[in-house]
Amino acid sequence: MSMDRIMRQEARLIMLRFLAEQSNGTLGSSMLQQLLDDMFGISRTREWVHQELRYLADIGAVRLTPAASVIIAEITRQGIDHVERRAVLEGVKRPSPSEG
């Protein structure tokens, strides 16, 4: 597996976790981009973050709402089930048992 693929799968899990932690289940792409960079050293462009959010939307883990130059992501039941280890989403790193 390539480093790029591993990083994308990790970033998708991180984004789902951050969304699951929010009381309303939503965050903007600019905030997600900043959190990925500041807390995990995943320094990528906003377009890269948008691409990963679109992937998560395609597999049913999030719903997306465009808002000017950012995208608002809202976690779905499928996304929560993955974070809580009740389901497995293809292309998203699986949380370890202690992370769930």
For residue 74, tell me if it sits in a domain: yes
For residue 95, tell me if it sits in a domain: no
pLDDT per position as a tens digit, 57-96: 999 999 999 999 999 999 999 999 999 999 999 999 999 8
Mean of pLDDT values over 37-53: 95
For the entire predicted model, the pTM comes to: 0.93
Mean of pLDDT values over 13-24: 97
Give the domain extent around 14.
3-83
For residue 55, tell me if it sits in a domain: yes
Q: Are 92 and 9 in contact (CB under 8 A)?
A: yes
For residue 50, tell me if it sits in a domain: yes
Q: Are 87 and 81 in contact (CB under 8 A)?
A: yes
- On the question of pLDDT at 100 being above 80, the answer is no
For residue 92, tell me if it sits in a domain: no
CATH number at residue 47: 1.10.10.10
59, burial (CB in 10 Å: exposed 0-12, middle 13-18, buried 19+): middle
For residue 14, tell me if it sits in a domain: yes
For residue 100, tell me if it sits in a domain: no
Mind giving me the DSSP string for 10-49? HHHHHHHHHHHHSTTSEEEHHHHHHHHHHHH-----HHHH
Closest by CA to 49, choosing from 26, 79, 70, is: 70
Which run of H or of E encompasses 8? helix 3-21
Q: What is the mean pLDDT of the chain?
A: 94
Mean of pLDDT values over 4-13: 95
- On the question of pLDDT at 98 being above 70, the answer is no
Number of domains in the chain: 1
Mean of pLDDT values over 28-38: 96
